[in-house]
Amino acid sequence: MAQITSGIRSILSHPIAYDGLQGALGVTNARRTVCEEYIKASEGQVVVDVGCGTAEILKFLPGSIQYFGFDLSQSYIDSAQRRFGDRGTFRCADVTALSANEIPPCQVAVSFGVLHHLDDDGARHLIEGLYDRLAPGGRLITVDPAFVPGQARIARELIKRDRGQNVRNCEGYLDLVSPRFQQRGIEPRHDLLRVPYTYAVMTCVR
Ligand SMILES: C[S@@+](CC[C@H](N)C(=O)[O-])C[C@H]1O[C@@H](n2cnc3c(N)ncnc32)[C@H](O)[C@@H]1O
């Protein structure tokens, strides 16, 4: 995993510190917007969330979906299980090492803030597995910080300091999915956090 977890950033390994920082920055609002404008999960759909963290996204998804969350961090998974145990199934796993048949067949796959932690080989392996398990017409939605020409200087500086070591530009994220997904699009969003920041929201349809 290409993620910095040493020094001051080690505090973020604690679920309460992690959720607190995300709340202060406005990530909660970003999740709400992404759920409403991009994920748009319907009642009864199966949603797979790779790199689910503490599964905060469940606050903005319909109660009737079948949710499966995977994350590398056992403490994040434990936190998700404690708070949302009745809303989904949670598993500690390295998503770059999952075989396709370990991923539940689904209509929606979500990767919020994860691809920029993964190198190209790991990300492509994950995307292939998700593609195989998505139903025809099913969608993969990814959200990651991105370097975009003309973005605010503060946004660029903040993104450079991210724990993830594989932040890409929009073309870089599209390159990861292009071997599998013919139907794909990406939108840079500069308005999702309380601070200047750029997220690239990618939508791929099987
Ligand atoms: C920026 S956080 C986003 C978490 C969550 N999606 C959210 O929106 O709060 C990135 C997450 O990816 C997880 N992660 C990073 N590399 C991973 C890997 N190889 N396998 C599984 N999870 C991974 C981290 O543990 C962390 O929870």
Q: Does a structural domain hold residue 193?
A: yes
Distance of CA 117 from the midpoint of ligand 1 (Å): 8
Residue nearest to atom 20 of ligand 1 (CA): 94
**What domain count does the chain have?**
1
Distance of CA 2 from the midpoint of ligand 1 (Å): 11
Task: Show the domain range for 181.
Answer: 10-205
CB 106 within 8 A of CB 137: no
Q: How far from chain centre, in Å, is Cα 183?
A: 19
Q: Is 67 in the pocket of ligand 1 (CB under 6 A)?
A: no
Structure tokens at 16: 């309460």
CATH number, position 124: 3.40.50.150
Q: Does a structural domain hold residue 2?
A: no
Task: Write out pLDDT tens, residues 169-199.
Answer: 999 999 999 999 999 999 999 999 999 999 9
Residue with tokens 């994220």, as numbered in its chain: 173
* 3-state SS assignment for residue 146: strand
Residue nearest to atom 11 of ligand 1 (CA): 51
Task: Write out pLDDT tens, residues 32-59.
Answer: 999 999 999 999 999 999 999 999 999 9
- Of 84 and 7, the structure prediction assigns the larger pLDDT to 84
